[in-house]
């Protein structure tokens, strides 16, 4: 697939590289697996040249041999003998950068601690000693969010505060997903767009796999994702095992429960028969895989809380692939596809609401976007988009089929919202329906 979007990140990385020719820079790039970090770095630095070191899960001796050869080839230098520690190789490059500008990219940086537990302390020591003497553009990239945050944002870690830039790479925007779909299918439909958004959430590798296989509509996407040799089938497990370690079983069960509609803590605890408070907190704060939602303007200590998986692909994977893995074990891929198609309208309807919230956020026209529901579940407003500066607010109902929208029903729900919260009484209020036709 061609390279799309990332203009802002490219400009930023190239500016940092230019600045590093005068003063060293230490950039941290984070993002979930398959988001496109490596391709971004290669695209940013391909014209100027860079040293790329990938920290694979090998022995330190093997990696030292691979890295040493890369350094000799790319930088045209000779090493002063056999080097057996990765931190010594990194220091060697740092010393070279005292005489010339060098861009050093270390990919899967969080893996260094598995290979050499003292590596971060050595890098911290060398960076502190040399950063004002070098012209080094050091870029470290990592895909295990928990570990990367700990390395650079935990006060007890040696590299805390050493980075000069911190970039978090996000999925493709909705506009970029439209651009990609237009490139591969000029006559795409709203259903096609909703399918790619629902299944991939804009994660670059998943979009690439679908487009390169000519899968531009829902059925074709499901064919690619569910065929026996598909990488999508084990993808959730592969991506998240490193995050969760030995406790992955409990975390997987919680994520599966939320994905299939058990969005409150009591419901999940009842289904799993286990106390999940600490696990939920970690999923929200440390792993950033789940978000905690309350009705707009609800009291902070309210127990009226719903949880949601942040990642569209993981939502789909846990809802269908993980839940019905027993079908895949007996080769019933075609039956699973039928089941997904049976439940797709309901599932994609939930994702359609998420789509429009994302679209409104990306429009940058509002100061607050959220939802509201009462404790009894009798009244719910799908989207409230507020602009505090202009004192305007729009209340939206989200429907796959706009013919099912009733403004009178929405107005009644808004009246319940006004009575419950006392908000927006002095705002200019409007009402609307967002449907497939508005994508």
What would the pLDDT profile of 294-328 be if each residue is shown by its tens digit? 999 987 667 789 999 999 999 999 999 999 999 99
d(CA 264, CA 262): 6
**Closest Cα to residue 380, out of 401, 410, 423?**
410
Q: Is the pLDDT of residue 153 over 90?
A: yes
Query: What average pLDDT does the segment 266-292 reach?
Result: 95
What sign results for the dihedral spanned by CA atoms 14, 15, 21, 25?
A: negative
Six-digit token string for 39: 């391709």
Using an 8 Å Cβ cutoff, are 259 and 252 in contact? Answer: no
Query: What average pLDDT does the segment 177-197 reach?
Result: 98
> What pLDDT sits at residue 63?
94
Spell out where 113-205 has E strands.
Answer: 136-142, 165-168
pLDDT tens digits, one per residue of 91-110: 999 999 999 999 999 999 99
**Closest Cα to residue 431, out of 413, 412, 411, 416?**
411
From residue 7, alpha-carbon distances to 3, 95, 169 in Å are 10, 32, 12
Burial of 93 (0-12, 13-18, 19+ CB in 10 A): buried
Of 325 and 245, which is predicted with more confidence?
325
**Closest Cα to residue 379, out of 310, 302, 296, 437?**
296
d(CA 150, CA 160): 8
Q: Is the pLDDT of residue 133 over 90?
A: yes
207 Ramachandran zone, left/alpha/beta (phi>0; psi -120 to 50): alpha
> What pLDDT sits at residue 145?
83
Using an 8 Å Cβ cutoff, are 233 and 226 in contact? Answer: yes
> What pLDDT sits at residue 301?
65
> What pLDDT sits at residue 81?
86
Class of domain 7-168: alpha beta
> What pLDDT sits at residue 190?
98
Burial of 30 (0-12, 13-18, 19+ CB in 10 A): buried
d(CA 290, CA 308): 5
Query: What average pLDDT does the segment 371-377 reach?
Result: 91
* CATH architecture of the region 234-330: Orthogonal Bundle (1.10)
Query: Which of the residue ranges 7-21, 171-185, 243-257, 296-310 would you say has the lowest mean pLDDT?
Result: 296-310
Q: Report helix, strand or coil for 308.
A: strand
Query: What average pLDDT does the segment 4-9 reach?
Result: 94
Q: Is the pLDDT of residue 158 over 90?
A: yes
Q: What value does the mean pLDDT of the chain take?
A: 95
Q: Nearest 5°: phi and psi at 409?
A: -65, -40
For the entire predicted model, the pTM comes to 0.93
CATH number listed for the domain at residues 365-438: 3.40.1350.10
d(CA 209, CA 263): 31
pLDDT tens digits, one per residue of 197-230: 999 999 999 999 999 999 999 999 999 999 999 9
From residue 168, alpha-carbon distances to 19, 120, 138, 354 in Å are 20, 21, 16, 21
From residue 295, alpha-carbon distances to 169, 343, 370 in Å are 28, 27, 7
Residues 6+ apart with CB under 8 A from 269: 275, 276
Q: What string of DSSP letters covers 104-115?
A: EEEESGGGHHHH
Spell 404-429 as b/e; 16+ CB within 10 A means b. ebeeeebeebbebbeeeeeebeeeee
Six-digit token string for 173: 């925007």
**Closest Cα to residue 97, out of 21, 27, 14, 26?**
21
Percent of the chain residues past pLDDT 90, beyond the cut: 91
- Give domain limits for the chain: 7-168, 234-330, 365-438
């Amino acid at each position: 697939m061609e390279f799309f979007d990332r203009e802002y990140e490219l400009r930023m990385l190239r500016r940092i590289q230019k600045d590093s020719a005068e003063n060293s820079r230490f950039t941290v790039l984070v993002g979930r697996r398959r988001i496109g970090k490596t391709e971004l770095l290669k695209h940013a630095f391909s014209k100027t040249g860079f040293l790329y070191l990938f920290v694979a899960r090998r022995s330190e001796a093997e990696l030292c041999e691979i890295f040493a050869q890369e350094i000799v080839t790319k930088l045209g230098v000779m090493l002063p003998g056999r080097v057996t520690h990765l931190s010594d190789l990194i220091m060697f490059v740092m010393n070279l950068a005292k005489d010339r500008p060098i861009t050093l990219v270390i990919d899967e940086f969080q893996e260094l601690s598995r290979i050499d537990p003292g590596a971060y302390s050595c890098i911290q020591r060398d960076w502190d000693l040399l950063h004002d003497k070098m012209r080094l553009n050091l870029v470290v990239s990592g895909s295990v969010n928990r570990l990367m945050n700990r390395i650079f944002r935990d006060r007890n870690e040696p590299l805390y505060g050493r980075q000069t830039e911190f970039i978090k790479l996000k999925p493709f925007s909705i506009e970029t997903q439209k651009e990609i779909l237009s490139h591969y299918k000029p006559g795409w439909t709203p259903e096609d767009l909703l399918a790619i958004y629902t299944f991939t959430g804009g994660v670059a590798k998943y979009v690439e796999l679908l487009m390169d296989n000519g899968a531009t509509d829902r059925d074709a996407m499901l064919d690619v994702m569910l065929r026996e040799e598909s990488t999508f089938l084990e993808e959730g497990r592969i991506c998240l095992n490193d995050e969760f370690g030995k406790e992955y079983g409990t975390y997987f069960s919680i994520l599966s429960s939320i994905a299939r509609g058990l969005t409150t803590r009591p419901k999940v605890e009842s289904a799993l028969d286990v106390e999940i408070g600490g696990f939920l907190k970690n999923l929200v704060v440390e792993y950033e895989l789940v978000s905690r939602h309350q009705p707009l303007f609800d009291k902070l200590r309210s127990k009226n809380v719903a949880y949601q998986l942040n990642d569209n692909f993981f939502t789909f994977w846990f809802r269908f692939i993980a839940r019905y893995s027993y079908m895949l074990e007996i080769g019933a891929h075609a039956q699973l596809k039928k089941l997904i198609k049976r439940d797709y309208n309901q599932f994609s309807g939930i994702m359609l609401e998420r789509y429009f919230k994302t679209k409104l956020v990306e429009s940058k026209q509002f100061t607050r976007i959220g939802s509201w529901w009462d404790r009894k579940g009798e009244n719910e407003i799908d989207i409230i988009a507020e602009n505090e500066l202009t004192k305007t607010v729009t209340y939206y109902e989200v429907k796959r089929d706009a013919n099912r929208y009733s403004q009178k029903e929405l107005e009644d729900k808004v009246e319940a919202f006004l009575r419950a919260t006392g908000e927006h009484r002095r705002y200019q209020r409007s009402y609307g329906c967002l449907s497939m036709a508005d994508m």
